[in-house]
Structure formats: structure tokens, C-alpha cells
Structure 1
Amino acid sequence: MMNYEHIKSFLLTILIISSIILTYSIWTYQPDYELLDDQSVNEVTIARKDELSNVISPIKLYYHTDGSHYSLYDVDDVKSTSDVMKSWQLYNLRDPKVYTDAGLDDLLNEQGKVALIYPDQIPFDLFRTFITFEDKDIPVATFDRIVIEEEFTNSDSGMIYFVNTEERRVYGCSIRGRDLEEFMASLGNQQEKWTLSYPLKPSVYETIYLPQEAVEIEKFRYVPQELSPELFKRALFSEPSIVQSNMTATGEEYTDSFNLMKVQRRQQALTYVNPAQEPEQYTASPNLLKKSFDYINTHSGWSDTFYYERVDAYQQLVRFRLYIQGYPVFGDVTRSVMELAWGKDQIYRYERPLYTMGLQLPTEEISVELPSGYEFETWIRKRDDIMLSDVSDVTIGYRLTEENNGQETIFNLEPNWYYLYNGTWLRASIKDDREGEINVGLE
């Protein structure tokens, strides 16, 4: 009897242990979803992939030293200096302080400071993917300026500040002395590119530095090379074999009865829409910028040099702008931005250029002399239809226009002054339009 009870207890124990092992296996089982996903993705290479740190960049640099203000406007020159940040090791990130307007103005513009200007907000958690923070806890926050003190705060370290100008919120952080020295040396190597500047204050919230003298900027001409709509069809549709195409008055349309891809020949642009993803209400997404970058990377869609320009959390929208020779490109008709709008859990709308810059052609005039900042300021203050307080940025950019010689399309890129007015970039037609012209909104 005792032996029977022992055997029964032993068998029961074995059953319990087996049940525990089986339950644990079910809970912890992770099928190889990544492998399945990889097998279902259409591998299409349209142009090239890029690195996040190449696409997210400061677009201007202001340096306040020796009683003067200097600027770098060419993004290539700015990146030559700011790229040394990739080797930084930052530590002791402080809790934020909220500044007054006057206090923030001092921090951003006082002597002994370098300011790196980003076009829009950058999340800390994204920035730390290419900059080392020794701090484990990084704030769930964003910034659009980095201010660097050129002098050491003590014998072996310096101070930098991450600034959110919208919220007037500032995060102080320590930087190693050797990292600060390397950055200042890199900036010094660009000294021949520094442009002596003066401050234009459209409002108490904004200071824009403009060149004191006229500036010479090169002109360019290119023969554009079309990107293949067929490749985009294979990249963007989940089942490209069932996609039907039709000619339209403006180009072509591709559809699988659910999603639509339009090719617009006049604008040299492509638009892809997934109607099922149209958001019923917009909610902020913390990783908009990263997933937009990843989306373009999945089909190697970086056809030229593009930089991050704008994020709109409410509309779930991210924009990247084309740059040529260090300056932004603005198309009168031709598209010069990539714009992604997100739906509930997938892309809703994707708009982009359908070209890449091909052969560079010689120009009759090598460069153009742009008016000084003072002349730009005089022009804009005389305009009755422009409120200076609604101007949030000013930049040198290329106006993209087309010509056709009967055999091929040619892109002309001519330097101009542009200003950001109530969220829209407009061309300041100073020379050819001194009596005042109604500006046309650009991409």
C-alpha cells in the first residue's frame, strides 16, 4: 500500500513538473517574426540608404565672439563642424529650467557662445542614438538649439545647453574638455567661411543673423534623371503583381483597388496614398521622425541630399527638404521635399520628387551676388503685406525652375533670399521686384 502511494505521488509530481515546463514554453515562445517579415518584404533599391545622423543636422551656426557675430549658412560647412559631436561623451544632464524671454535671448546670443540651429524639434531619445550620454535617464523632451560655451567652466570640462525655444526650456549638460577643444578647433578651421553678421529681431522671441555685406553664391544647371515609377510600385504596394496602371492627363495612376500611387509629370513628383490609414483624429506619436526616416530607408529612397526640416505631431507629418551644394532648394512647380503623413499604424500619404540630379551643365554666369541682410531687411520692412513679427526664419536658398530645349529638361538653380512666413517659405524678389510682387507659396 505504501509503495502504491509512493508511486502515485511520484507520477503526480512528474505531471506537475511537465505542466510547468509546458506552460513556461508557451509563455516564452517567440516565433521568428523578423525572418517571416524579411521574407515577405519586396527588396527594392531605388537610390540609396542613409544614416540618421546625416539627415538630422543643424542648418545654421552662429558664433558670438570678439564683440561680433558670425554665421555659417552653408549646411556642408555647418556639418563639417558639428559632425565632431558624434565622438562626444556628455554627462550630468541637468533638470530643465524655464527661462524668461530676456534670459533666453541672453543665453542664445551673448558673447562667448556658439549656437547650432536645427530646423525643428529633435527628440533627446533620437539624438542619443548618435551622441553618447553617460546619463541613463534621458528626458522625454525635445530641443531645437544647442548652445556651446567656448570657455571651460573648470580645468577639464565645459558646458552646453539644449534649448527648446517654443517652451523656453533649457537643459544644461557637461562636456569633456577635450571634446570642447576639438569642436572649437573644427570651428576655427572654417574661419574663412565665417560671414560677419548682424541681428534682425522680428519679435522678442526670435533673433535671425543676416550678412552685413552682399554674398556671392554659385549658380547650377542639371539634367534631371527620372526615378522609375515601376520600382516605386514594387516597393510601396504589398502585392505589386496585381497593381493596375492607367494614363491620366497629368501622368499615370497605379492602384491595387485599395491604395493609389500617382505620378505627376509636370511637378516631377510621386504621391502614394493608403486611404484605409486616414486618421480619424490626430494623436501625437513620439517616434514620427525615426519611423519616417526608416520608411524611406526601407526602399533606399534617398535619391539626393535631403535634411530633416519639419515635424507636425498633431498632423502626424514629417518633411525632408532637398539641398544642393549646402543650400535648400525651393521649387516653383517642381517638387523639392519628401513629406510623410502617418495614419493609425501605417503610412497614410507619401509625397516626394521623382527625379535625382543628373549631369551638371556649365552656366554662363558662375555666381550671383545676393543683396546684403540690410537690403533684405529694408525690402521686407517696406512691404505692406508682410508683418515682420510673422517672419520666423530667413535663409539663402536655390530657386528651382525648368527649361526644355526640345530634347531634354534642364533644371536651373539660382540663389535667392527666402523667408519663412506663417509656416510657408516665400521668395524675397528684391532685385527684380522692388515695387512689390505678390509672392507665391513654395514647397
Structure 2
Amino acid sequence: MDIGRRALIALAIAVSIANAPVTTAQAGAAKAPAAQRWVGSWATAQMIPAAKDALPAADVTDGTLRQTLRLSTGGGKIRVRLSNAFGTEPLKLSGVHVALAAASGSARIDTASDTALTFSGRPEVTLPAGAEYLSDPIDFPAMPLASVAITLRFDGAPPAQQTSHPGSRTTSWFGPGDQLAAKELTGGKSIDRWFVISGVDVQRPAGASLVTFGDSITDGYGVTTNGDNRWPDVLAARLQADPRTRGVGVLNAGIGGNRLLLDGLGPNAMARFDRDVLNQAGVKYVILLEGVNDLGTLTRDQPAGPEAHAALVTRMIASYDQMIRRARERGIKIYGATVMPYGGSAYYHPDAANEQDRQTINAWIRAPGRFDAVIDFDKLMADPANPSRLAPAYDSGDGLHPSLVGYKAMADAAPLELFVP
């Protein structure tokens, strides 16, 4: 066959393909929507509340509890995670509703948005002892930074051993009877704690979640109740303001008094790392800010010898190393935050040996090849005239926790480039 004839045949085949009818499968592929994924938009770390922090069982037996939270990133669908992680008996709920809240900590909702959740298609749910439970997905107007109310109706009394997050810095409301869909929950009783709720995920075409993992500094000690001004809250607002990072959800996994190695207020960081970090929906990043309570507790009640100081530092470093390895095995980027100064703390009253321990820990955190990046809160927050103490403008007054100005400075110091896909 000569070259001219081959060219004519090739042209005829090309025209035939171009004019062929589009099949249904081809049309479907062309119109296929972007793949959706679940991303954590809000979360809180679970623990057993002290008696003074527990939900009054008599007031919620067959009653209703309404709690509010602020989302970070948004999406077209949501699902809610409930927790009975520390319960020793089943937790029965006869209903759970979700709605837009009038404001953080408000007992009022937008009734037009009120939606009943289901669990495997049923309105009631029983959470086994030690378990967490996901609701079925629902269509919901989950806008970024929206205040959302989750209302629970107890079937009987809550478990004797409750699961909660005492450091909510957000007001919850409870009253008698079935008030799941009430515009305003009545009963006149409130408590600044969260119970049973542990997470809200949103479905979106792209995105990832960032877990801020730490102690009371991350949990927000000293912030304004219902003010949503913890440093992770301020960081979430920064991420939403930048088009490159609007798909990043911020999950606060701080617990006041938390330690790396020993239980205190809540389980130790090593024990809760899987539940509070690795098992979060869409997790891709974690900021680890833990260690000040380990350092301070060593000598809070009495001095410790050089061997005890050295052993503590060695074990803390090993703990960081374990969490780095576990995060990287899941493809999660883990960013180390240096331990901030606490030389002015009357609670821990540290001495020169404690300060040397902190400097040793921070030198390890800063060394290349450990964390994927370092956020140097120590350098940011230290008083230039006395680096063992917080700068006066950033000190809440107790020498340990930042002021509101300090929390904002922490949030502003996190480079957004660390969270760009």
C-alpha cells in the first residue's frame, strides 16, 4: 500500500471516531463529580470527668442536653461522632439532633436547620461501653466557622462513669423531657462542659485535617467562655481566610494538665495518640505541644536529683520519637512545637535544673531530622530579658499560660505554608 493511500485510510478512521455517538458510560465519566472525602471539622479529646465536672444524672435522666461547638472547615454533608470511651456500661440515647446555633454557648437554635440524626437508619442509638459511634451522613449547611448545636435525649440515666471534655470553655444546657427540636432549650440549667460528643466530620471534594495535640495551653486555659479564642480557633480562622488552606479542618485535642508519660487530668499523651490523632477523619497534619507538665511535675512537691532529671528527659524524648514514627507510618506530617517558658509559675516553681531540662528537650525538638517542621513557640513567647519566663505581654499572670494576646501570637506564628496541599 502506498503512502498516499495509507494517509487517506487514517484520515477516514479519525473522522469516523470523531463522529461516533458518545456512549452513556463516556458521558457519565465526563460529568462525574469530584471525589468526596471526609475531613474532621471539629473534635475534642475525651476523658473521665471529676465528680465536680460530671453531668448531674438526676437532671438529665430521660432529659435533654444541648451543646454547641464551632466548625472549622465546611462541607456539603456532615456526620457526628459520639463517645462512650470511658463508660463501663452502655449509653442509650433516644434521639440526637443537629442544628445551626444562635451563637456559641447559646440554648437557641435555627429551627429551619434542625435535623434528626440516624444511626444505621434508626433515630435511637446505644453506645457500647468503651466505644465511639458515627451517625449516618446527612445533608447540612456546614459553612466554615459556623456555630452548631448538637442536642441529645437520654434514654434513662447517663452511665455512672461518664465520658466528657471538662475544658470546653463553652456553655451547655440541659432540661427535662424531650426538647430535641425546641427552639430554645428550657430548664434553666447550664454547665461549661462537653459530654458524649467527640467529633464532627464534613464531606468535601478536597481537604485534610490538622490535629493540635497538647495540654491546657492548647485546650485554652484562660480564654473567654464562648469566645472561641483558643489558639487553635484563631489558627482555624487564618486557614479559612487563605484560599490555599480553606479545606483544612482544625481539631483541638488538648487536655488541661496532660502529660506525655503519666496520667493526670485525662490519659497520658502516648495512651491517647491513636484515638485523638491517628483515627481522625482525613488527618494529614499534627502539631505536638506537650511536655511542660512532665517537666514541672517532677519537682512540684520536692526537689529531684540529677538522675531523676536525666531519666525524665530521656523518657520524654523517647515519647516524642514514638509519636513521630507512628504519625509517619500513616503518612501524617508531624510538627514539633517547642516547650514554652514557665519560670514564673508559682504552681511548678521551677529551678535551674528544670530550665536545663526544658532547654535540652527544645534542642532535641529543633534538631533537623526529627519533626517534619518546628514551630518555635519558646522563641516567640519568651521574655528577651529573661528567657526562662514568658514575655509580660504574653503572660496571663500565672507564669505558665498565655494571655489572649499570647494565644493569638501563637496562632499567627504557625506558617500557613505547612498546611498547603
Q: Compute the TM-score of the two structures, normalised by the length of structure 2.
A: 0.28
Greater helix share, structure number: 2
When Rg is computed on C-alpha atoms for both structures, the one with the higher figure is 1
Greater strand share, structure number: 1
